[in-house]
């Protein structure tokens, strides 16, 4: 059970990111949004910028996002948008991004990710690709940027997880699928559990004025599903025989999916809150393994001992890759 009252907000499940930040003044605040040039990342950037923040879109290929970044930078208001190269699956790229950062950092949104890669693939460091991109790369980025987050005085880290985390705890015995059979959904679920555990483990930064929380954005049709073929999407009930999306009441548009991200990143309602998991703009209920209802957060993702163990594992893994 929670040792605190679940936090609730006045925002409904399909509120947009702009609605969540209505009236917010982020002038002078600086943010990094990984994967901010598509899907909910773009809408996260749009809302933060419209509220006045200076946002850096961290993306593997900034040239491919040039038009998007220009359009976001042209939004009315005092906010601004720039892009910078960042490949989360490449530790050298992560460290180059961090070395180039100057000054305080108020908001880090760990938004970029991959899902359901059909076959086991590894990064240049030999890390399984879901774990490399969704967790280890973001862990390396957050820890490298820690001095800049601390310098902000009241910084927030936001980890975009998924309801899929309920399907798999973190396997400390074989996290890279070196011995157990590779399964793309287990790999994805494990990496998303790791994202929640990152937020829990970051409680060690509370004395530095840094809070961290995780979220499930909901079901949104974005480029994240690029590895899913039509047969898989039909089996999931996402599309019909013609390939058309089957509307569901829980589906969201990207601007709605980004709402919980910006709630955690900038809403005054989250001031001082850390180590929690949100969905539909509310703190999620604790879900037992046998709970058939969608949503909720698994106990294995909030376990502080697992969070500390994962933090130590990630720190060792990143240090070993540096040589």
Residues annotated as catalytic (active site), given as ranges: 188
Residue 247: how many CB atoms within 10 A of its CB? 6
| Torsional sign, CA 23, 24, 25, 26 | negative
Task: Count CB neighbours of 219 within 10 A.
Answer: 17
- Sort residue 29 into left (φ over 0), alpha (ψ -120 to 50) or beta: beta
Q: What one-character DSSP code corresponds to residue 209?
A: T
Q: How does DSSP assign 249-297, residue by residue?
A: TTEE-HHHHTHHHHHHHH-GGGTT--S-EEETTEEPPEE-TT--SS--E
Q: How many CB atoms lie within 10 A of CB 14?
A: 18
The per-residue b/e assignment along 255-292, b for 16 or more CB within 10 angstroms, e otherwise, is bbbbbbbbbbbbbeebeebbbbbbbbbbbbebbeeeee
Which residues touch 170 (CB under 8 Å, ≥6 apart)?
A: 190, 193, 194, 197, 300, 306, 310
Query: How many residues comprise the chain?
Result: 323
């Amino acid at each position: 059970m929670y040792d605190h009252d679940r936090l609730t907000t006045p925002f409904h499940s399909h509120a947009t990111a702009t609605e969540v930040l209505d009236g917010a003044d982020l002038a002078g605040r600086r943010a990094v949004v990984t994967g901010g040039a598509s899907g909910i990342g773009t809408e996260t950037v749009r809302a933060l910028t419209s509220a006045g923040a200076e946002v850096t879109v961290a993306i593997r290929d900034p040239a491919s996002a040039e038009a998007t970044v220009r359009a976001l930078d042209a939004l009315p208001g005092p906010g601004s948008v720039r892009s910078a190269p960042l490949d989360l699956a490449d530790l050298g790229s992560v460290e180059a991004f961090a070395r180039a950062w100057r000054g305080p950092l108020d908001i880090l949104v760990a938004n970029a990710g991959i899902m359901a890669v059909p076959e086991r693939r590894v990064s240049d460091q030999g890390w399984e690709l879901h774990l490399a991109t969704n967790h280890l790369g973001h862990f390396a980025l957050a820890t490298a940027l820690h001095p800049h987050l601390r310098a902000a005085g009241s910084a927030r880290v936001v980890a975009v997880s998924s309801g899929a985390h309920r399907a798999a705890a973190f396997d400390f015995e074989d996290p890279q699928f070196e011995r157990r059979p590779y399964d793309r959904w287990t790999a994805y679920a494990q990496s998303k559990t790791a994202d929640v555990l990152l937020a829990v483990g970051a409680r060690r930064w509370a004395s530095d004025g840094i809070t961290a929380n995780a979220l499930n954005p909901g079901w949104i049709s974005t480029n994240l599903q690029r590895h899913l073929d039509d047969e898989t999407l039909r089996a999931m009930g996402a599309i019909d025989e013609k390939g058309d999306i089957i509307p569901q009441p829980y589906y969201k548009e990207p601007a709605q999916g980004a709402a919980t991200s910006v709630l955690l990143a900038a809403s005054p309602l989250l001031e001082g809150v850390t180590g929690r998991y949100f969905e539909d703009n509310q703190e999620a209920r604790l879900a037992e393994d046998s709970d058939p209802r969608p949503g909720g957060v698994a106990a294995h993702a909030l376990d502080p001992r697992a969070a500390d163990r994962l933090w130590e594992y990630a720190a060792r893994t990143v240090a070993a890759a540096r040589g």
